[in-house]
Structure 1
Amino acid sequence: MEWKRSGEFEPGPVPLAKAVDRFGIGKQEVNNSPEGLTKSRLVIEQEREERRVRKWRKMIGVGGSDWKHYVRRKPHVVKRRIRKGIPDCLRGLVWQLISGSRDLLLMNPGVYERHGPGQRSLYNVLKAYSVYDRDVGYVQGMGFLAGLLLLYMSEEDAFWLLVALLKGAVHAPMEGLYLVGLPLVQQYLFQFEQLVKEHLPKLGEHFSQEMINPTMYASQWFITVFSYSFPFHLALRIWDVFLYEGVKIVFQVGLALLKYCQDDLVKLPFEKLLHALRNFPEDAMNPDILLPMAYSIKVSERLEELKQEYGNSIGKPVQPIESSGKQIQALKQKQMSARR
């Protein structure tokens, strides 16, 4: 097949613009046949989304002014709504409210600008963080996190949310995922391997026979919180829950994926098994099926036990994670001291 040079291009009919969903991703045309429903699926989805947006706006208040009060009064309602998915038009603001990064920004005016503005957004955020935290610096996986955050907020907001995540303003600090030797990745993979054996013993045994371990397929799940190579709409739903509930959702989703595909995985030899674990089928990535399955898998208590087991196995007992209130307070005090 020969390609025409640019000077030989002959214009043809211009294709009609393809319909896109609320993320800007192309979608199939809606069938408006007389036999169909009175309202198209698209219209129904839009109306449902508008109702959800109204509920969320009422819950968080103007600019998030009512958020903390609502979380204290009705935490179960907040958790339920987050698990259903944060409305896309409010996702950036809610992520900042959940993580506490807005408090860090307000307490540190001007810090972000001092770290070299003027370059592209992703470079700006990652470069600023490498200057802010020289112990961590920059590690490749951080780019996926920062890139996702920048889709929903400004550079400065994304920078402070990255700080909140890595320093543990709300949940366990993520910086151990990126330190030399990836110590937190090693801990998570140890925990995950044990959970697979306990929740999916048949598959766990097959993995052992084929000499498959989580290092071969699950490292990126934890390093990027599924923002690498997973469908965008699924990654967003996972991140909604991750920011509110912590890293346990990564374990739950990983186990749910394996559970969903278990019957096929146990039949595969090493090469095909490894390929399958890195390329899950499209139907397994449906958040409305996968996430309820993940929520049903209880892992919190066992994760804490396995964390202690891992600490003992390496001769470095892992200390219990501080409550979110103590973490954010310690981080705020550190920032205030740095400004003096």
Structure 2
Amino acid sequence: MVAEAKKREIKEAHKRKKIMKERFKQEENIASAMVIWINEILPNWEVMRSTRRVRELWWQGLPPSVRGKVWSLAVGNELNITPELYEIFLSRAKERWKSFSETSSENDIEGVSVADREASLELIKLDISRTFPSLYIFQKVQGMSFIAAVLILNLEEADAFIAFANLLNKPCQLAFFRVDHSMMLKYFATFEVFFEENLSKLFLHFKSYSLTPDIYLIDWIFTLYSKSLPLDLACRVWDVFCRDGEEFLFRTGLGILRLYEDILLQMDFIHIAQFLTKLPEDITSEKLFSCIAAIQMQNSTKKWTQVFASVMKDIKEGEKNNSPALKS
């Protein structure tokens, strides 16, 4: 027994040593990458952002110290919101919040009763408490709040608001947050083309149960994976999403399906839906990104944008599923 205990102790010691070695190497890589981002890439952003070297470095994950800055630059500011404009918005919001708190009458304001607006504010408070329940600072926002929370953790307040507004103004986010069923169906149809191309066996398994993408994709896309994945892993997904755009959100979805393909093939409709609604907490960055890297976002000779355009065209022309245009 003593000998066995000694063996286990030695084995555990080796395991701890290996983990520490890997962690030290990871910290060294992050420090090295940070220097490159700060000294070389950020000062020459427009020239370097699309180079192969930067894209490869970007794929590995952004150092936390530059993550917010890179996100802001990558998302852009098409809405032209300035920090000054944000302060105006904030001031007005505070004034309204104060007036709602002090007013007990049921007088209409701009056609909506104070009671209704106060109810909305209570919903916002409730939403806040549901966002990252393990993080104390968000105790006491579902949907948009998860996005807002990730941004505020990585950016200064005004910059987080500017990035938030511009993110929600992107075509994919607009479709999902407006619950534009027509556009959402086009995204789902495009996703299924690549689902079938990359994971044909699982695709047929899902089809046999009439399990459609909306059952799991809406929550993933709606919160940009910040609700479904551990926070550090969600941030890494955001890193590459900021690099590659909406395509990467769907590629990540396929990566998750690939990672758990063997398990999902053994499940029925109910268990698949439950599993994908609440993913395992032990999901790791290395395993997920390895699966994402294996996903090919090309159907025959068509890339994501081309397939999406085909879907748009086919639906406009009134064609149904299994369009020949997608298979050509």
Q: TM-score by structure 1 length?
A: 0.67
1:271-286 correspondence to structure 2 within 5 Å? 271-282=270-281, 285-286=283-284
**Equivalent in 26, 29, 50 of residue 48 of structure 1:** 29
1:1-340 correspondence to structure 2 within 5 Å? 36=17, 40-60=21-41, 64-71=42-49, 75-101=51-77, 104-105=80-81, 108=82, 110-117=84-91, 141-168=143-170, 172=171, 174-282=173-281, 285-299=283-297, 301-315=302-316
User: What CA distance in whole angstroms lies between the structure 2 residues aligned with 1:140 and 1:278?
Assistant: 14
How many percent of aligned residue pairs carry the same amino acid? Answer: 27
Q: SS of 1:281's equivalent?
A: coil
CA RMSD of aligned residues (A): 3.2
Q: Counterpart amino acid of 1:66?
A: N
Q: SS of 1:217's equivalent?
A: helix
User: What CA distance in whole angstroms lies between the structure 2 residues aligned with 1:260 and 1:239?
Assistant: 19
**1:153: how far off?**
1.1
Structure 2: which 5+ residue stretches go unaligned? Answer: 1-11, 98-123, 125-140, 319-328
Q: SS of 2:260's equivalent?
A: helix
Q: Is the 8 A contact 2:78 2:166 kept in 1?
A: no
Q: Is the 8 A contact 2:77 2:163 kept in 1?
A: yes
Q: TM-score by structure 2 length?
A: 0.69
State the match for 2:116 in structure 1.
Answer: none
User: What CA distance in whole angstroms lies between the structure 2 residues aligned with 1:81 and 1:57?
Assistant: 13
User: What CA distance in whole angstroms lies between the structure 1 residues aligned with 2:206 and 2:16?
Assistant: 49
Closer, same or farther: CA 119–43 of 1 in aligned 2, 3 Å: farther
User: What CA distance in whole angstroms lies between the structure 2 residues aligned with 1:37 and 1:196?
Assistant: 37
Closer, same or farther: CA 41–311 of 1 in aligned 2, 3 Å: closer
Q: Is the 8 A contact 2:186 2:308 kept in 1?
A: yes
**1:226: how far off?**
0.8
Closer, same or farther: CA 166–279 of 1 in aligned 2, 3 Å: closer
Structure 1: which 5+ residue stretches go unaligned? Answer: 1-30, 124-137, 318-340
Closer, same or farther: CA 37–315 of 1 in aligned 2, 3 Å: closer
**1:81: how far off?**
0.9
User: What CA distance in whole angstroms lies between the structure 1 residues aligned with 2:253 and 2:274?
Assistant: 16
Closer, same or farther: CA 207–263 of 1 in aligned 2, 3 Å: same
Q: Greater helix percent: which structure?
A: 2
**1:65: how far off?**
3.3
**1:33: how far off?**
7.2
Deviations 1:147-188 (A, max 9, x none): 1111111221112112332334xxx56322222435443322
Alignment size in residue pairs: 260
User: What CA distance in whole angstroms lies between the structure 1 residues aligned with 2:146 and 2:19?
Assistant: 42
Q: Is the 8 A contact 2:228 2:277 kept in 1?
A: no
